Amino acid sequence: MSAPPLYPLQYEGLVRGALAEDLGRAGDVTSDAIAAPGERGSGLVVARGPLRVAGLGVGLSAFCQLSDEVEIEVLLGDGDDAQPGVPLARVTGPARVLLAAERTALNLIGHLSGVATATRDVVRRLEGLPTRVVCTRKTTPGLRALEKHAVRVGGGSSHRYGLDDAVLVKDNHRVLAGGVEEAVSRVRRSVGHLMKIEVEVDTLEQLEAALRCGVDAVLLDNMTHGDLRRAVARVAGRAVTEASGGITPETCRAVAETGVDLVSLGWLTHSAPAADVAFDLELRV
């Protein structure tokens, strides 16, 4: 699945911080003791289990940040599927650098590939249905750009990126404003004409209020499958319908079959298991 590439600006600082966290004050004392100064090596980043590749360039940048003598040969790219034993990239450079950056690189590639693989598998569960899979803001602090990239690589889309790119009137907003209509009215007086407005509703009565306001989308939160069907029928194409709340890979198809346009799964970014990847040092060069 193609996705816009990440710019180095989006991840270089994060990778630098992860390396600093691991290297601490004294560096890699084990590798520095075992590898001679100037000794070079070459190794493969390898899939240990089936996965969809994501964040490969992010992870590999860990090696490059420690030395400008590192050479990278990318064998698979983000969006490619790999089976166990398949190499994703070859890394050549100072042996101390390869060993020092290994864990940071694998942590990033494994986590992001895990998100992409989970998304791919959920998308496949909805095969034959028009419903799209979207992720939420339930992301790891500091990793949102990377995790949402991984979701796109897996075939999914994003709900909203942050608090600033779309309006979502939630239950606490309704409480503060005194109701759906007043909340939407206040929003319209504040935001620009290009800003989309979505309202979260828990009941069909709240849905009717949102529809009277002419909102762009409705978030159908924690509704039963029966209420989801009734909600889709009442909306009748007047707004985008999004089902949310505790949806898992096992339940997503039944939710999608109610006719909603989107199913949103926070699970994709907060609970997807990491993919199993390894770095195998092959030889000294």
What is each CA distance from 107 to 7, 59, 60, 170, 275, in whole angstroms? 19, 8, 11, 34, 9
Task: Give residue 2's pLDDT band: very low, low, confident or very high (50, 70, 90).
Answer: low
Span 26-48, pLDDT tens digits: 999 999 999 999 999 999 999 99
Q: Which residues are catalytic?
A: 103, 138, 170, 200, 221
Mean pLDDT of the region 89-114? 98
Q: How many CB atoms lie within 10 A of CB 59?
A: 29
- Give CA–CA dist 124/126, Å, rounded: 5
Check if 8-114+273-284 and 123-270 are the same fold. Answer: no
According to CATH, what is the number of the domain 123-270? 3.20.20.70
SS (H, E, C) 11-59: CHHHHHHHHHHHHCCCCCHHHHHHCCCCCEEEEEEEECCCEECCCHHHH
Task: Determine the pLDDT at residue 285.
Answer: 57
Whether the predicted pLDDT of 229 surpasses 90? yes
Residue 29's contacts (CB-CB under 8 Å, 6 or more residues apart) are: none
pLDDT-above-70 percentage for the chain: 98
> Is residue 169 within 8 Å of 198, Cβ to Cβ?
yes
**Tokens, residue 238:** 């007047």
Residue 199's contacts (CB-CB under 8 Å, 6 or more residues apart) are: 168, 169, 180, 183, 184, 206, 210, 213, 215, 217, 218, 219
200: Cα separation from own chain's centroid: 22
Task: Determine the pLDDT at residue 3.
Answer: 79
Mean pLDDT of the region 232-255? 96
pTM above 0.85, yes or no: yes
> What are the b/e assignments for 70-84, b being 16+ CB within 10 Å?
bebeebbebbbebee
- Give CA–CA dist 235/262, Å, rounded: 14
- Give CA–CA dist 232/239, Å, rounded: 9
**Tokens, residue 53:** 């590749």
- Give CA–CA dist 218/244, Å, rounded: 10
> Is residue 89 within 8 Å of 72, Cβ to Cβ?
yes
Task: Determine the pLDDT at residue 132.
Answer: 97
Whether the predicted pLDDT of 20 surpasses 90? yes
- The full set of domain ranges for the chain reads 8-114+273-284, 123-270
Mean pLDDT of the region 51-56? 98
- Give CA–CA dist 176/197, Å, rounded: 17
Task: Give residue 4's pLDDT band: very low, low, confident or very high (50, 70, 90).
Answer: confident
Top CATH class, 8-114+273-284:
alpha beta
> Is residue 173 within 8 Å of 183, Cβ to Cβ?
yes
